[in-house]
Amino acid sequence: MNSNDPTSSLAARILSAAANQLYIDGEWVASSSGEQLESINPATGETIAHVANGNAADVDRAVAAARRALHGPWRDTTPYERQAIILKLADLVDQHFDALCLLDSMDMGAPLSRLRANSRKRALGRLRFYAGMATAIHGNTIGNSAPGKVFTYTMREPIGVVAGIIPWNAPMTSAIWKIGPVLATGCTMVLKPAEQASLSCLMLAELMAQAGVPPGVVNVVTGVGEITGAALAGHPDVNKVAFTGSHAVGQSIVRASAGNLKRVSLELGGKSPDIVFADADLDKAVPGAAMGVFGNTGQVCCAGTRLFVERKIYDEFVQRVAQFGQQLRVGNGQDPDVEIGPLVSKDQLERVLDYIDIGRREGARTISGGERMTEGNLANGYFVRPTVFGDIEDGMRIATEEIFGPVVCAIPFDTIDEVEQRANATAFGLGSGVWTRDINKAQRLSRSLHAGSVWVNCYNLMDPAVPFGGYGLSGYGREGGVEHLDEYLQTKAVWINAT
């Protein structure tokens, strides 16, 4: 880091001063637990910082601050004032973008090259989209059948205090996906980053203060999910939980929300089908399907991990995907030439390696990869070679359970009827892909696939204006698009008798 660069200086301050500091009511305060969590660089296994291990008492403080802010001056801010704050935050994120990316790369391993190429558009695009939406929230006038001169209209009001609980696979952009609609709608928030990767969220707290976000509007409480996250999910003064993570934790959040019937939106995991027909443009489909699994080291909720390939091209296509994976440069994400980084933690490494062993025991054939990488500078990191399995049966655990690593199950099919049925034979329904030159096949599967997103001749594209979310165990509610703001608003009907 260049110490003369104010953006990197701020990142360095977060690295050095994050220990035992929570952001509550506009101030950096000590955690009442007095405990710390290590932030470990997964590329080296080294501890790079410590963050506070918040507890239920800290959650109480943060929720109380958010409640005060909700009923304070923030309540009377105009849409244009909130828009100006979000745009100022977008400018600051743009100014400090490289430092935010560096923190994410050090914290969870993502290659800087990928973060700089993809995350700027997502981060800034989302903030500026929500800034625009802040001035587009409106109710309706409604005719009614009441006698006399009774006038009716609706108002859209903020739902209240939001608990934003985010994952570790994209800390900065996931945080913005929760912060943006909170600021646009006039809600307030307690943000709980993943314990494996909290640093960029702490830096965002600094930037929000600089942007003019009033004290208490967004609070950041770090800690483990079982304590801090659980306290938020069950808190009686939280009105909504916005959660991104595993389906098992999502189910626990639903149960915890029952006490005061919180609004809940869940963006959970997946076991997404990616379907390649023989008539596809294979030069585009090979890298598209490969990076649909290997991108972000497979730590993507909508990764196309069930790769269905039409039998007549199966051998050629799968071999090309395997070769593509073998050629990817794996290493420390801060190396500008690296394309695939480590898994986020030792626990995640062991989980992925366990699934690889399970696949072999189930009879799957390892076409490429399938082992930890320990040569040279990779020795102390959590690296797994991009892995392609063949000889897959639909009921295998590796074909039905989310692995969250760079592991793809390649499955042949013969007819569109067959692949349609097999693709939908899952409890998940987040993403899906179709590669074909035949518009009729594309249209048919776009209608019939049970998934919140269908990508045709592309994969995992995102845009702030386009809603994203899932079916089944992949959750409910949407992030992105006008539908996203609906998750943070409630409707009030007003009746005025003018006689």
Phi, psi of 93 (to 5 degrees): -65, -40
The number of CA neighbours under 13 Å toward the Cβ of 356 is 22
Contact 452, 470 (CB under 8 A): yes
Identity of residue 64: A
Contact 256, 243 (CB under 8 A): no
Nearest Cα residue to 331 out of 50, 101, 113: 113
Contact 378, 331 (CB under 8 A): yes
Nearest Cα residue to 273 out of 450, 468, 476: 450
Q: 476 in the Ramachandran plot: left (φ > 0), alpha (ψ -120 to 50) or beta?
A: beta
Task: Please name the residues in contact with 23: beta carbons below 8 A apart, sequence gap of 6 or more.
Answer: 29, 202, 205, 219, 220, 221
310 is catalytic: no
* Beta strands 161-165 and 240-244, pairing class: parallel
Catalytic residue among 195, 206, 267, 339: 267
The rounded distance, in Å, linking the Cα atoms of 184 and 197 is 26
SS3 139: coil
Contact 377, 332 (CB under 8 A): yes
Contact 149, 498 (CB under 8 A): yes
SS3 353: helix
Catalytic residue among 187, 201, 301, 409: 301
458 is catalytic: no
Hey, how many other C-beta atoms are within 10 angstroms of the C-beta on 203? Answer: 28
Q: What would the two tokens of residue 319 be?
A: 């071999």
Contact 30, 57 (CB under 8 A): no
Q: What would the two tokens of residue 126 be?
A: 């989302």
The rounded distance, in Å, linking the Cα atoms of 386 and 442 is 28
Q: What would the two tokens of residue 97 be?
A: 């973008």
**Cα angle 21-25-28, degrees, rounded to a multiple of 5:** 20
The number of CA neighbours under 13 Å toward the Cβ of 349 is 21
Strands (E), 159-271: 161-165, 188-192, 218-220, 240-244, 263-267
Looking at the annotation, which residues are catalytic? 267, 301
